[in-house]
Homo-oligomer: A and B are copies of this chain.
Amino acid sequence: MGLRVALVGATGAVGAQFLDILGKGRLQVDELRLLASKRSVGKSLDFHGQSLPVAEATPDSFEGIDVAFVTAGGDISRELCPAAAKAGAIAVDDSSVFRLEPGVPLVVPEINADDLEGHHGIVSTPNCCTVPVAMALHTLRQASPIRSVITSTYQSVSGAGTAAVRELTEQSAQVLAGEAVKPDVFPHQIAFNALPQVDKFLDDGYTAEEWKMREEARKILGAPGLPFSATCVRVPVFQAHSFAVNVEFEGPVSPATARRLLSEMPGVRLSDTGTGDPYAHPVEAAGTDDVFVGRIREDTARPNGLVLWITADNLRKGAALNCIQIAEELLRRDLFPKR
């Protein structure tokens, strides 16, 4: 028996990755209902060689659905996830709306799949920055408890949607042609620039993105109060986010131990293997399913510290793939409501 799947946000950047991954047979899909905003009605999208129509996503879209993947922004999630749950589906939500709510599992299956057991119809997937960093931290805390985490991000524009991808494309051509650019999606020119602002500023000087990374990592790792700070920076990269991460442990953890643990972790690909470059870069990681971890070295700033370089596709393990893995895990644990 397969699943009856709804995909809200089917026409977006993450939606395309869902269709790609599901199309490769990652979940057994009995029915796929493509949903989007009213202006996409009439479009159709390819899935498994079939052309499927896009319907308008409304609270009534979820009758007979087992799992609704919702990736269309916070406002849509706030309206449609409870509707999907009420209709008997499990909503797997890619927005930040429910992530920190008590009772809503925030899950990276390799880390805290057990948290799914307590779901009430809505499960959240973490921010695309949180997933790869949490994967590495969870792996490494097997060697020693983590004392603190400092990270700086190099985030691609696709995290901000298809309009952002278009903006980088158009602005880049304009700059190369010597023309003026006019920012729209981003607060300043993004082409050939780096903007230390993702989402809005909060009162303490952090951005909402930096706050999300911190609070979500704490929840996923089950480590409330974990000392954690992030500087989130948008760079002119199309797809895949990267991270410089300084991890401080309670006791010594050698780079060799870190490499061994990371090489054994499902979903992680060790870049620092002794041959070739000890790192992956975003162009290499884009379109792949793994979290690449490399440049593992002792932190010369802190005892018991390691420094890492992490790269992962923000649309896949950072979003669509993680949602699909959540559905696989719900199925394995028989957590879908009986029909």
A-B contact pairs, 9 of them (CB 8 A): A148-B302, A149-B301, A152-B231, A172-B176, A172-B192, A196-B309, A205-B295, A205-B296, A235-B235
Minimum C-beta distance from A136 to chain B (A): 14
A283 engages B229 (CB within 8 Å): no
A173 at the interface (CB under 8 A from B): yes
Interface size class for chain A? 35 or more
A279 in contact (CB, < 8 A): yes
CA distance A173 to B279 in the complex (A): 26
A residues within 8 Å of B by Cβ? 148-150, 152, 154, 168-169, 172-173, 176, 187-189, 192-197, 201, 204-206, 214, 227-229, 231, 233, 235-238, 242, 244, 246, 255, 272, 277-279, 281-284, 294-302, 305, 307, 309
B150 with A301: CB separation less than 8 A: yes
Among the listed B192, B272, B309, which residue makes an inter-chain contact with A238, where contact means beta carbons less than 8 Å apart?
A: B192
Closest 3 CB pairs of A and B: A205-B297, A152-B152, A231-B244
Chain B residue at minimal CB-CB distance from A187: B277
- Determine how close the nearest CB of chain B comes to the CB of A58; give it in whole angstroms: 37
Number of copies of chain A assembled together:
2
Q: Are A193 and B281 in contact (CB under 8 A)?
A: yes
A152-B244, A205-B296, A298-B204 in contact; A197/B277 too (CB < 8 A)?
A: yes
CA distance A234 to B299 in the complex (A): 20
Enumerate chain B residues within 8 angstroms of A194, measured Cβ to Cβ.
154, 235, 237, 242, 281-282
CB contact under 8 A between A307 and B231, given known A150-B301, A283-B189, A283-B193 = yes
Q: Shortest distance in angstroms between A296's beta carbon and chain B's nearest beta carbon? A: 7
Q: How far is the CB of A178 from chain B (nearest CB, A)?
A: 11
A192 vs B278: C-alpha distance when bound (angstroms): 20
Q: Determine how close the nearest CB of chain B comes to the CB of A215; give it in whole angstroms.
A: 10
Contact A300 B236 (CB under 8 A): no
Q: How far is the CA of A194 from the CA of B228 in the complex (A)?
A: 24
* A300 contact from B193, B206, B255, Cβ within 8 A: B206
In the complex, what distance in Å separates the CA atom of A185 from the CA atom of B15?
37
Contact at B277–A246, with CB atoms within 8 Å? no
